[in-house]
Amino acid sequence: MAVTDGHDIEPTDEYDHDEPAALVSALRTSPDRVVFTEDGNSDGWIATDHTVELSQ
């Protein structure tokens, strides 16, 4: 299962450094399903069958 989280992203000036960032992990549970979870919140998650790559 592939995992990506907020630790892989370098901060930019766009972020408000006074507020802690929510760390979200993307877990590929199957070839056509991705589940997003927030660090420390095991009750909240989002599953999707379609995701797109984001560009900065």
pLDDT score for 9: 55
pLDDT score for 44: 79
Pairing assessment for the beta strands 3-4 and 24-30 based on DSSP bridges = antiparallel
Predicted TM-score (pTM) of this structure: 0.48
The phi-psi region of residue 49 (left if phi > 0; otherwise alpha if psi is between -120 and 50; otherwise beta) is alpha
Q: How far apart are CA 24 and CA 42, in angstroms?
A: 11
Phi, psi at residue 6, to the nearest 5°?
A: -65, -15
Domains in the chain: boundaries = 1-6+22-45
pLDDT score for 39: 84
pLDDT score for 28: 85
Side chain identity at residue 51, one-letter code: T
> What pLDDT, in 10s, does the model give residues 14-55?
655 666 667 888 888 888 888 888 888 878 788 788 878 778
pLDDT score for 6: 53
